[in-house]
Each structure stands twice: as C-alpha cells, then as structure tokens.
Amino acid sequence: MKRGTFQLMKSVNKSLILNTIRTSEPISRAQIAKKTELTPPTVSSIVKELLEEELVVESDLGESQGGRKPTMLLINHDAFYVIGVDVSPDSIKCIAGSLSGKVIVRAEPKEISKRISSEQFLDELIDTIRSVLDTLSTPDKVMGIGVAMHGVVDVENGLSLVAPNLGLTDIPIKDVLEKEFDTIVKVENDVRAMALGESWFSTNGHIGSMLTVNMGSGVGAGLVIDGKLYHGAADLAGEVGHMTIDLHGEVCTCGNRGCFQTFATCDAIIKRAKAALIEADEKAGMAKGEAEHLVHDQIGYQNLTIEDIYHMATAGNEILANVLQETGEVIGIALTNLIHVINPEKIVLGGEVCKMSAFILPVIKDTIVQRGLTADAKQTKVDLIKLGHDATLKGALALLLVEIFE
C-alpha cells in the first residue's frame, strides 16, 4: 500500500472504528455504533470502505438476539504486512509481521562491523529489508517500515542522532528508507519501541501508564502513557541507565560515577561476580596471582557468563547468590526512584539480566515494598516482559500499528 492510500485512513472516525474492531473483534456494526457513539449510517459507510480496502472482513460468528444472526466484523490480519527492524549495536534483524504482530518472514540477522560508515550502514539496512520483501508473495501489501534503533533518535525526522557503539551520528534512516521503498517509515529508540510493543500487544494499548526497563548490554527505559510513548522535551526521556545510584561508584561510559548502568548490565554483574569470587578465594588464603586463574566449579573466571552465574548461584554458591541479591536491591532502589518520579501503573522488565529473575525479581519487589513512600507506591506491579525474545522486533512493528489503528 502506497503512502497516499495510507493517509486516507487517518480520518478520526475511521481510525476509531478500526481500533474498536481490533480491540473487540468479532463485533457487529450495531455494537460498533453503541461503543463509538457514532450513528449507524456513519458506521455502515465507514465499514463499507474498510471492507473494500480489505482491512476488515465479515464473518457469521454472531449470536442471534432473537432475530437473524448479525454479521460480525474482524480485522483482516493476514492481508497486509508491516516490516519491523531491530538495529542493535552489533546486528540488524528484520521481520515481516501481520497486522496482529504474527511473524510471517524473518531475515537472517546481519552482523554490523564496528568500522562502518553511515552510507555502508544504510546499504546494509536496505539489503536486509530487501531480503524480507523479496520473500513476500505480495510485497505491495506492505503498509510501512518500523525501525527500532539503539542510541539517541530524533523521532520526528527519523534520524539516528547518536549510535554510540557504531561511532556514527546523524544517520538519515527515515529519508533514505522512504525514498528507497516508497512507504511510510517510523524510527524510534529500541527500548522505547519495545515499551510500545509491550503495551500494544500485551494490554491492547489499554493501560494508563507503563514503564518498561530493559537491562542488557546497557540500561534504558520507555514510558507509555495512555497508549502513547513519552519522549520528553528533547527525545531524552528514558535514559535511566545514567541515573546516579552511587556518588563514589565506578566511572560509567558517560563519564559520570556510579550510574545505574554500572550495576545492572550483564557486564557489570559479571564484573562484580568475578571480583567477589576472587576476593573470597583470597580470603580463603590463596595468593593473589593464583586466585585470578583459579578454575572454580570447572568454570574459569575469565569466561564467566550470566548463565554460569545463574547456574552456580542456583547450585548453592553463596557468594554469587549475594551478588545477585545486591543486584536486585540496586535495581529495586532505581525502580523506587522511578516510581516516585513517574508513578507508573505497572513496571515491565526486559533484557538479558532478566534471565536471573528467579533471584532478582523477589528482591526487587521487597526493596520497593521497603522503600516506597505510600502503600500504592509499595504495591506497584513489577513483571517480566511478555513479548520475550522478539520484544524489540515486535516493538518495531508496533510503531506502524499504532499509526494504522489509532
């Protein structure tokens, strides 16, 4: 579908009806009129347009209320595609999804080399998207492309302002992709896209306020208020990884000391775990040089992974259990700070660090109970992200879906 057709759908009543069908399907014309408070003739005429555009289909699932069975309406989820792209610091992933977010086609992830120019990066991006479009039987049914990009993004202009791990700035993603593919393109910070996706797919966009915090190679957050992402005055909202937790803590990549990120990324946890294990060995009387090379439970400390830490802690390693306990407390403190600033209805946690949720989630919740200012603050819901592995890609799809349906 070309941009012209897409724009047609932006009439307020049409979006309202489309979204009512999406959230309540199967639904009859009479029920739509009742829910939206639009007149039956208005509903009929807009539904007729939606049927002609094949965005909506009829079925006969309706329950009779005494007369003949009403015709029910459904979203024609599989008739169109949206393209979702996840650009992480080291790879480009791309899927084509249905209007319900089902993955139809998935590209082979493409690795990005660290020494890449903006032009080379954009070529790689185009190639990856092209590889997905080429496998679709009806590429003309693509309604747009959503790009979830790591780093700082100028959302209005679809510009990657700073992609720190690639060392690139001011990449004109939206301009280049719109010219290349002649379709609507949305670009958003990856964690914010993930937050939008979680709100869209797990609550139908029906939650007052939800904060999604991602803890992986970095720490970021996205805030969705009434179904809309909050960006702040200069697209900086959600940089919670650089909230100061410890005045005298370690130096962060941003140059400040003791940022949340110096505690809650995978690397930070691994670093503290190694230090704690080596310290314990030293206390046990080993010479310093030897301790660093010690193989503990057949795992060399040098190659310690998040999975190792989890397995060793589960198997009863108290030193590592303590490191995870402390990690949970720090995350709990950071989230309590955020609760006091934002007061979200719900907090959702994502990222690799959540692989250790069995240890850290109960501690996080306890810490919030201890530190929250009011009973409501203490009871703020904290859950793991429901979208799982594809959370960022689904978020990229959601960037378009909110445009189509709302």
Give residues in contact with Zn ion (CB under 5 A): 242, 252, 254, 256, 259
CB of 76 to Zn ion, least distance (A): 46
* Residue with smaller CB distance to Zn ion, 28 or 262: 262
Map residue 383 onto helix, strand or coil.
strand
Minimal distance in Å, beta carbon 195 to Zn ion?
20
Rounded to whole angstroms, how far apart are CA atoms 99 and 228? 18
d(CA 334, CA 249): 15
Tell me how far apart the alpha carbons of residues 14 and 403 are, in angstroms, rounded to a whole number. Answer: 12
Q: How many helices (H) and strands (E) does the chain have?
A: 15, 19
Residue 22: φ, ψ to 5°: -60, -45
Minimum Å gap between C-beta 174 and Zn ion is 28
In the complex, least distance from residue 218 CB atom to Zn ion, rounded to whole angstroms: 9
User: What is the pairing mode between strands 185-189 and 142-149?
Assistant: parallel
Chain CA centroid to CA 403, Å = 17
Q: What CA–CA distance (Å, rounded) separates 358 from 375?
A: 25
Q: Which three-class secondary structure state does DSSP give residue 355?
A: helix
Nearest distance from C-beta of residue 251 to Zn ion, angstroms: 9
Q: Rank residues 30 and 254 by Cβ distance to Zn ion and give the closer one.
A: 254
Q: What's the closest the beta carbon of residue 275 comes to Zn ion, in angstroms?
A: 20
Angstrom distances, CA of residue 128 to CA of 8, 131, 177, 193, 194: 29, 5, 12, 19, 20
Q: What's the CA angle centered on 300, arms 294 and 302, to 5 degrees?
A: 105
Nearer to Zn ion, 250 or 383 (CB): 250
